Amino acid sequence: MNRLIDQPVNGLAKRISSTLAQDEQELIRVEADLGADGHFGTQWIVVTPKRVLVYQEGEAGEVIDIPIEDIAIARTEGLIGGARLEIHRKDAPSVFVPFSKTQAQKFSETTRGIEQLRKGQDFFVNGDLDKTRCKECNRLLPEKNGICPACINRFATLGRIAAYLKPYKSRALWLAGASVVTTVSELLPPIVTKHIIDDVLVPTVDTEVLDGDRLGMLGMFVLVLVGIRLLTWGAEWVHGWTITWLSARVTADIRSQLYKRLEMLSLQFYDKRQVGAVMSRVTSDSGRLQDFLVDGLPYMLINGLMLLGILVALFSMSWQLTLYVLIPIPAIIAWGVFFWRRMRRFFTKWMQSWSDTMSRVNEALTGIRVVKAFAQEEREISVFKTRNDKLTRVGIQAEVNRGVFFKTMTLLTAVGVMIVWYYGGLEVIDGDLTLGTLMAFYSYMMLLYGPLEWFGMVNSWMTRAFAGAERIFEIIDTPPEAYQDPDAVPMPNITGQVKFDDVTFGYDKSKPVLHEIDLDVKQGEMIGLVGKSGVGKTTTVNLICRFYDVDRGSIQIDGEDVRNIRLEDLRSQIGIVLQEPFLFSGTIADNIGYGKPGATFEQIVAAANAAAAHDFIVSKPDGYDTVVGERGDSLSGGERQRISIARAVLHDPKILILDEATSSVDVQTEKRIQEAITRLVKGRTTFAIAHRLSTLRNADRLLVMDAGRIVEMGTHEELLEKMGAFYNLVQLQEEISQIIAIKE
Ligand code: ADP
Ligand code: MG
């Protein structure tokens, strides 16, 4: 959507529509979270094709109307703790709109939009910003683009979780049965004790009962109690066992579904997110969900039944007394609701602190080499300490509050018990109630408050578990890359002709990285891509693999748009050596064979030979069985590169892509790889990106890129003769190599 629109607060919509002309279109409407003086307050900015409007605070606030043609320049300027949008006018004082750091992205888009209009360029802003606040309730989100725990539809989520039980219907039935039995068997003992007291210990009804009978009855009742106890034990056993089994299965199902989806999601998805945050979906969110399934869901049933059963029992014994003991209930509920509202704030804060702390740990440990290289351990420790302290403070606050909550709850519960003693006692004295009934009443009261407290507490707990579940579902619902799209064109035998037709692409649609690229590559041709760093070379080859889809134009392989080719066929016939070679932990042979499971050892060795890697591999003590650490840490950069070249050539691709594949090897080795590559590229279409221009001498054609465009194209000799961009690059490198030569 090529607009950037915040939802206006009440009253503002009217104000805006009354100032705009009938057919005036809002391109941008954003809220700044600071007042004009930089203090607390809000201002709104509306941009239409003709003017910029700034709505100052309040209904009566001024509206500054700035026609686009009066603007000299719009820009954002950083301030301490925030920034401001500055609109400089040609003949009037400048207008400043301060905003806080969290809105930086929004305002950079706004500024760019205004500038585009001012310069008469195409208007293109990114309306799909990172979300930091909930759209519906405007609360701060626990994580960027996250889910608002307060706005979840619990029933829908619960339904979705429950749907995972479907494959395990019979176990679920066992569970439900066990829950019912547990509940009933917990409700029975007070009735039995009532009979023990009234019929055996203090017989009021039938005074002629003999002592012998009383003894027998006592024995019988105690036996019944034992029976009930055994029943409870059995039901709890079945219950515990099924729930553990079920919850483990269901979470495993959810987790593997989640992981499956994570593997299938596009790179675009990952570009927008931190890996740490995605990982926590798999680990902590699914763990939390499991906790809820074990300790939450089944007790929901048990405690619900329990409440119902207790109320029925109480009312059937004495409805008057029941009404009395229910007096504190509204207070208990009100207190619970009030309290958990309050707690939610703490939880959100806590969750934010937690993810802050963890992402810092993740980053610092991943980058431990950099930390050590610059001797910044102390700084990292102190950053961590600050965050950890904050986390602890928030945690303590939450715990203290929770403590107060439970103590108050107990106090309110005690009120109910006292009512039972006082009014129940009066009725016993008056002879309206038997002692046994009073005792049963007392027991049920004790049973009643447990479930009540549980329901008060489970709310927030459920909120957290469900927020986790929703975060998981969000990923499961993200459309994956279409690997087996039935409409896709199967192309099991690509010849390797590649055509770029007017391709424009940007990782962010509003900021193109490649502009109108046209290119026609014949089958078997070797193309060298050169240019300064950041001009879009890697991006160009990413598009051939369809890691991303083009924004405009198309890329065709053998005349078929890559978007129509079955992804599996496309990727399996492209061999790519990434700019940053990544190896998995495992042996060298495993890593070479990664793209072709089941490759024979001979094939692996042949691939290693082709990549000039065989010699260094066999010189290692364990040869092909050498274990490379996580990410291949135990190998040098050049070794890693050669292994990844071997990996790329193993499955004999029709299109070979080498992205700076030889940047980390010495000149000698490079020569050898060079020869190997010359052999390799025969019969394949090859795209080679190289930093060292001499590497590309054998290329059929060289493309020189600059700022996302192809600026020169031709053979090595042609381009040198032309004395253009390529010539300059070569000159530059020669100077550098001369400097190196002198030093040596
Ligand atoms: P080269 O390979 O020529 O050095 P790239 O194609 O990697 O350049 O990058 C071109 C531009 O795209 C750079 O400005 C870079 O910052 C940007 N870029 C690269 N990858 C991403 C990404 N995943 N998300 C956003 N921007 C990116
Ligand atoms: Mg690159």
Res 59: pLDDT: 64
Res 238: pLDDT: 92
Give the atom of ligand 1 at the shortest distance from the alpha carbon of 537: 3
Per DSSP, what are the bridge partners of residue 75? 86
Average pLDDT, integer, range 644-670: 82
Q: Is the CB of 537 under 6 A from ligand 1?
A: yes
Alpha carbons 285 and 472: distance in angstroms, whole number: 7
Question: What percentage of residues in the chain have a pLDDT greater than 70?
Answer: 92
Task: Name residue, tokens 């929004």.
Answer: 106
Between 88 and 348, name the one with better pLDDT: 88
Q: Which of 37, 56, 36 is nearest to 46 (CA)?
A: 56
CA distances from 372 to 24, 378, 399, 531, 629 (A): 58, 10, 37, 33, 19
What Rg, from alpha-carbon coordinates, does the chain have?
36
Res 228: pLDDT: 93
* Residue 143, pLDDT above cutoff 80: no
Alpha carbons 575 and 592: distance in angstroms, whole number: 12
pLDDT band of 223, cuts 50, 70, 90 = very high
* Residue 233, pLDDT above cutoff 90: yes
Contact between residue 505 and residue 584 where contact means Cβ atoms under 8 Å apart: no
What's the order of all strands across the beta sheet hosting 574-577?
Answer: 574-577, 655-659, 685-689, 526-530, 701-706, 709-714
CA distances from 221 to 187, 191, 271, 562 (A): 15, 10, 69, 80
Alpha carbons 666 and 677: distance in angstroms, whole number: 16
**Start-to-end Cα distance in the chain:** 57
Res 206: pLDDT: 55
Res 204: pLDDT: 57
Q: Is the CB of 539 under 6 A from ligand 1?
A: yes
Q: Which amino acid is at 415?
A: V
Q: Using CA positions, which residue lies closest to atom 18 of ligand 1?
A: 507
pLDDT band of 34, cuts 50, 70, 90 = confident
Q: Is the CB of 456 under 6 A from ligand 1?
A: no
Alpha carbons 201 and 196: distance in angstroms, whole number: 6
* Residue 16, pLDDT above cutoff 70: yes
Average pLDDT, integer, range 462-468: 77
Per DSSP, what are the bridge partners of residue 575? 656
> Ligand 1 pocket test: which of 126, 513, 577, 658 has the largest number of ligand atoms within 8 Å of its C-beta?
513
C-alpha 446 to ligand 2 mean position (Å)? 70
Q: Which of 474, 462, 476, 466 is nearest to 255 (CA)?
A: 476
Average pLDDT, integer, range 172-184: 89
Summarize pLDDT for 350-393 with one digit per residue, the tens: 877 887 787 788 778 888 888 888 888 888 899 889 888 988 98
C-alpha 539 to ligand 1 mean position (Å)? 6
Average pLDDT, integer, range 187-204: 85
Summarize pLDDT for 705-718 with one digit per residue, the tens: 988 899 988 888 88
For 324-460, strand residue ranges (E) read none
Alpha carbons 21 and 76: distance in angstroms, whole number: 28
Between 486 and 400, name the one with better pLDDT: 400
> Ligand 1 pocket test: which of 269, 503, 535, 539 has the largest number of ligand atoms within 8 Å of its C-beta?
539
Q: Is the CB of 241 under 6 A from ligand 1?
A: no
Find which of 143-147, 598-602, 629-633 is predicted with most confidence, using mean pLDDT: 598-602
Instruction: Give the chain's mean pLDDT.
Output: 83
* Residue 438, pLDDT above cutoff 50: yes
Average pLDDT, integer, range 305-325: 88
pLDDT band of 420, cuts 50, 70, 90 = confident
- Among the bound ligands, the one closest to the CA of 705: 1
Q: Using CA positions, which residue lies closest to atom 1 of ligand 1?
A: 534
C-alpha 536 to ligand 1 mean position (Å)? 6
Between 738 and 527, name the one with better pLDDT: 527
C-alpha 518 to ligand 2 mean position (Å)? 19
Per DSSP, what are the bridge partners of residue 704? 530, 712
Alpha carbons 449 and 357: distance in angstroms, whole number: 38
Res 595: pLDDT: 83
Average pLDDT, integer, range 665-676: 75
Question: What percentage of residues in the chain have a pLDDT greater than 90?
Answer: 11
Task: Name residue, tokens 């009643």.
Answer: 448
β-strand 709-714 against 560-561: which pairing, if any? unpaired
Res 744: pLDDT: 46
As a residue count, the chain comes to 744
In terms of DSSP H, where are the helices of 196-318?
211-264, 267-271, 275-280, 286-291, 297-317
Res 691: pLDDT: 77
Q: Is the CB of 471 under 6 A from ligand 1?
A: no
* Residue 1, pLDDT above cutoff 70: no
Res 557: pLDDT: 92
Q: Which amino acid is at 479?
A: P
Q: Using CA positions, which residue lies closest to atom 24 of ligand 1?
A: 507
For residue 53, the number of C-alpha atoms closer than 13 Å in the C-beta half-sphere is 25
Give φ, ψ of 703 to 5 degrees. Answer: -115, 130
